[in-house]
Structure formats: structure tokens, C-alpha cells
Structure 1
Amino acid sequence: MFSSERLDFRFYTEADLDFLYSMLSDERMTEFIGNGKTRNRKETFNFLQWIFQHYEQNNEYGLKLLVRKKDGVTIGHAGIVPQLIEGQVELEIGYWIAREYWGNRYASEAAETLLQRGLNQLGVGRFISLIQKPNLASRKVAEKIGMQLEREIILSDKQVCLYVYEK
């Protein structure tokens, strides 16, 4: 679909359910995602269907798998995801790297690639990232790609930092 220096971005397929489940069933992985709870296989399947719905609306949107070019290993996902924030649709740059690949700058690379793609190919001038306040690593990624903390909001009963990039 598209790529960065070290990563290929590709659509999820039903064959990727086990990978998605490996992330959604890991307590450390879900600590700062949504309500912070892990998901069972049925809930993971439903989440995968949610991803597919974004592709149907606009195949530029939705979470894409991140596959490491050098060895074909799937290391996470990232994407531009429409979110309803206080009655307004915003486009979120989201990124989520499997725990065994943390600390390799994959999230920063994926986020920067999505930002540049959104600005240059899609012509979008504003992006957000929704990051739970204690998630310092993700906040650092947002700041590294030029996002600034606009305000804090409550989502799923969690205090969330709303980061913004505006052209």
C-alpha cells in the first residue's frame, strides 16, 4: 500500500486476527488504550470488523498493519482514524507497536509517515492524537512529529491529552 524507510503499511485481513489478538490480550499493551481492559477473541474479532468498516468508508483511513521490511515481521499497526470529539469529526493519527518492538522508534516513523501522507497526498491540514495522560512514550512521539497539547478531555472515563497538528 505505502511504506516508510523501515516499514510497509498494509491492510488488515481476517488472517491477521491472531496478531491483533496478541496485542489486545496483553495487559501492558492495553493499559493506555480505550478503557484499559484486554479483549477476548470475540471482542478482537469485533475490533477487526471496526477496522474493516473504516476501509469501506475510505481506504486511506483505518488502522494499517506495520510490517518490518527487512524480515516481513508484523510489529504493530498505525493509521488515520476518524474520531468524534465533542460533536466534531477529527482525524486521529494513531500508532500502536507490539511490546517486543518498543524502543526502536517504529511509532515515531509510522506517525511521521502518516502525517506527511495526510498533508501531502490527502490534503488534510489538521490531525489529532488522543493519548491517555500517563502514556509518556506516546506523548513524546506526538511531540516529536510536531504535535502540540491543545487540551485535556475525558474519553471512556479516562483523562486524555488531545494533541493537535495544524498546518
Structure 2
Amino acid sequence: MMETNRLYLRDYSEGDFDFLKSLLSDPEVVRYIGHGTVKTEDEMKAFFRWIQHTYVQHADFGLKVVCLKENDEPIGHAGLVPQTIEGVNELEVGYWIGRRYWRNGYASEIAEELKRYGFENLNRQRLNSLIQPENEGSVKVAKKIGMKLDKKIKLKGKDVHVYAVEQG
């Protein structure tokens, strides 16, 4: 299990659907995710199944629930997410924090741990984050953990900036 001083990650379980739904139905949380709109119930269920499928690929991959150590409360999700970018298989440091927990440094804290884990435990040489250019909060997190703008791409019709960091 990955953990920091204040947080830990755990796999999503069936009982976490309502928590995921709370993230996916908040317009501010999903503003810079995909097309920036809240998901329908069917889309939420499909996304939940996709998350659980990534665990089958590799136990360390996929979005995991971010919980506060002090009370086990779920506050968001984050993880190392397999992505294909311009035909290349990459591993993304992904992070979403529920709105009421913004501006507490949680995203930076868990992103730094994911970066460390990816380099030290998974022997990855490169990690990235896919960020829509208007998402200033996520850009700050990426820069804080040492990522730099690598390239600009189109992903499902949206402008996306690829931030990357290499080991060493």
C-alpha cells in the first residue's frame, strides 16, 4: 500500500461507488477531466468498471482511493494509470481530490509518492501527467513534483498538455 505522512491509497471496492459518484457528479471536480461535464449514471458505472479492470493489468496500476490516515475518510483518487500517447505506452501520475479538500497540499503529496513509487518500485524511467492547459491547479502539482511541459497533443478532441519527468 502506498502512503504518505497524511494519506494512504487503497483499491476501489464495490462499496466505493457512491464516493466515486460524488466526484464524478461535481462540476468543479470534473471541469478539466475529459469533456468537462458530469457523467451520467451509466458513464459512472462504466468508469468504475474501467478502474477495477486496470487492477487486473497490474496490481499497482489504476486509480486508487485517497484516504486520510487520521480517520480513513476518502478524499479523492489517484494512481499510476496506463495511457497510450501517440502510440507509445506510458504511465500517468493521475490525481483528483474532492473539492472540499482542495488547497491542502494533498494532490502534491500523493503525486510525489506516486512518482517515487513508479521510479523506485516499478523501475519506470519516465512518468507523465495529462493536463488540460486551463487546469492551473494540476499544472502546479505537476511542476511541484518536477514535471515539465513535454508536448501538446489532442486527446479525444481536447487540447492536452503532457507534463513529464524522467528518473535521475
TM-score (norm 1): 0.98
The CA distance in 1 between the partners of 2:40 and 2:16, in whole Å, is 15
Q: Which runs of 5+ in 1 are unaligned?
A: none
Contact between 2:92 and 2:128, CA under 8 Å: does it hold in 1? yes
Is 2:2–2:113's contact at 8 Å kept on the other side of the alignment?
Answer: no
Secondary structure at 1:28's aligned position in 2?
coil
* Counterpart residue number, 1:137: 137
Residue 166 of structure 2 is aligned to residue 153 of structure 1: no
Q: What residue number does 1:117 align with?
A: 117
User: Which runs of 4 or more aligned residues in structure 1 lie more than 4 Å from their structure 2 counterparts after TM superposition?
Assistant: none
User: C-alpha distance in 2, partners of 1:58/1:159?
Assistant: 29
**Corresponding residue SS for 1:72:** coil
What's the TM-score, normalizing by structure 2? Answer: 0.97
Other-structure match for 1:28: 28
Could you tell me whether the CA contact under 8 Å between 1:21 and 1:40 is conserved in 2? no
Shift of 1:166: 0.8
Counterpart Cα distance in 1 of 2:2 and 2:83: 23
1:4-32 superposed Cα distances (whole Å, 9 cap, x missing partner): 11001000011100000001011111110
Say if 1:132 and 1:160, in contact at 8 Å, map to a contact too. yes
Structure 2: 5+ residue stretches without partners: none
Pairs within 5 Å for 1:57-76: 57-76=57-76
Alignment of 1:73-84 (within 5 A): 73-84=73-84
